[in-house]
Amino acid sequence: MKSILWLIALIMLFGWGLGFFVWAAPAFIHILLVVALIIVVYNLMVPKNSEV
């Protein structure tokens, strides 16, 4: 489960980078960055032996 969350966070960060640097995306593109950072912080705070 945690590897899936890391993958989602990576995809969101990549999408944010494309939207911010490559295309002139609207301001809501920053929501991807915020959600990706929340997922990363969650993954770092949850114990590694947790199944959640």
Residue 21 confidence (pLDDT): 79
Given CA atoms 27, 31, 32, 37 in this order, what sign does their dihedral have?
positive
Residue 12 confidence (pLDDT): 86
Max CA pair span of the chain: 41
The residue ranges of every structural domain in the chain are 2-45
pTM of the model: 0.63
Residue 46 confidence (pLDDT): 82
Residue 44 confidence (pLDDT): 84
pLDDT in tens, 1-52: 668 888 888 888 888 888 777 877 677 778 888 888 888 888 888 877 766 5
